[in-house]
Structure 1
Amino acid sequence: MGDTFIRHIELLGYEKRFFPSQHYVYMFLVKWNDLSEKLIYRRFTEIYEFHKALKEMFPIESGDINAENRIIPHLPAPKWFDGQRSTQSRQGTLAEYCYTLVNLPHKISRCLHVVSFFEVRPDDMSPVTDSQIRKPEVFLLPKDAKKNASDITGPIVLQTYRAIADYEKSSKSEMALKAGDAVDVVEKSETGWWFCQLKNKRGWVPAAYLEPMDGPDESEEQEPNYEGKTLRKPYFLLQKCWVGLEELWHQSTISNAKSIHNKGRKQISQETYRRNSKKYMQNRRNMRGNLKNKDIISEKNEQEENKSKAQPAVPPRPSKDLIMNRCTESTRRKIM
């Protein structure tokens, strides 16, 4: 077999981590010539140091001698403080950089410096973390995003699933499960294997071993139906493909998996619709009641205000005798 080289590098997004301190790492899916696919994580400072070393190795292709001969792509230097905004905004540039890098002449794209930088490290499979600190936030780059920062998704709340049976891993890229384990799903592969994380462990597990936790998001999702299909691992596990489902789990597990994947989306949607409709009608009734109360209060206030503005009643004219008794002598003479 020939030398190892990279076929393609795809930027998936980035993670916001909180251990040992808050920082950001980019997620790359690296596809190799042996059809394997590896998920790696790199800080931008690491990528920039790699870039500077690559330029020193190939001064002509980097344009140091003559700028017109440059074929190695440009990469902006890190900022004094790389926050979330700068991490998000440079994703388009970084995705284009990786695409150009892989398509450079073989003496550059397949050199040991490039190959070794994108190889899987131990912390890619099991990142160092602290159970007392909150888990990383994942920001995925949509596949149809056209290098526009406004297309970048917000923080992705990873879906949590529960293991319905014990699972023993058969390779380093997989992850063992115990019945009842709650795992976060990072990636769902069409092969029937999902890339999950459990505390500080990460790896691929069969999708049929997982059921969604109780919650509106999970219940609304239509699960793929793997019944009757050969469960096939991703490319980097082809050497250990399993032909039948019977080698993975016993009959009770299969029945549990069927009960998961045979959920009626239409029925769930109707229930959700009815639930939302009840809330909507209740809100409408509350709004009408509030408006009615406001009208009554407003009408009372208006009546009271009108009363306060009304002119006082005119008292009756005093009798002639009362006037004569109380008036002055001058007034009495005029009347007489």
Structure 2
Amino acid sequence: MRKFILVVLLIGILLAVDVNCQKRRKRVRHERRKEAPVVPFLEQPADSETETETDVFQLLEKDEAAENARADLEAKLKALEEAEGVEQNEIDNLEEPQEDPCATKRCGPGRECIQTAQGRARCVCMKACPDEDDNRRRVCSNYNETWSSDCEVYRSRCLCDEGSDDCTNPINKHLHIDYYGECREMPSCSEEEMGDFPRRMRDWLFNVMRELADRRELSPHFFQLERQAETSSNESSRATVAAVWKWCDLDGHPHDRVVSRHELFPIRAPLMAMEHCIAPFLDECDVDNDHRITLKEWGHCLQLPTDELEEKCDDVRNANENYAATAGDEEV
């Protein structure tokens, strides 16, 4: 807008200067004809000649002034254009970059986020996993196969789950990590060991829960339940609280109220080297063999009264969200 106003102003001034110059020239010629005597050119007085030269010089000076004014306006216009260019560059630099839709998109193991042609975020199977030369990165699958890394396991399962042509074996749709390290011969779990394992598992779960409560790493809801169970003489109550807490903890993304086989990884893989009965125990928890463990199945394999199991995962998550919001307000 400022540029447009200056251009209009410049044109107006130039037109006014030209009109004034033309008027002055006509007036001078008219006055010369009116005042000067009609004599032959050779007999014209010397002072008339001097007056004519003076009028011409005055016209030249005024024309020069007009040219200077025009040049000055052109210089100001150029300076304004340069200033507007700098200002626009600064505005462009201040503009927020377009947000990456994948910045807040969460993809599961073996998947990566890509931006579609419509600018949306989409999770797809990873094109490739990083090369691993370290043998310590190797893992053993539930099919007793050694893989070079956990990434390869997750990617292979993703490809088969999506029905990709790159799926090497359809059964890999249910592939998951059994334990870290190369596959090795595991001692068999005896019938006697298997019979006592649910009790040992219940005790271990409550001990883990108690340790997290002591370190203030439990949600406020389960912290209160753990402290109540701590003083209770009812052993079943303590085991039930720990069983529900762990089942909710294992039900990751998505929160679908079932624990899949691969969601059992956090307790299966670390315990395999020390507890050789953990694998058959967890396999028995999946009674209908659909690769998903419900809360009822979880309580049954831990030998707990299923009527005492109450699914409180939403309460737990709401408590976590409220706790995080309160902590954030206190920090502010």
TM-score w.r.t. the length of structure 2 is 0.24
More helix by share: 2
Greater Rg by CA: 2
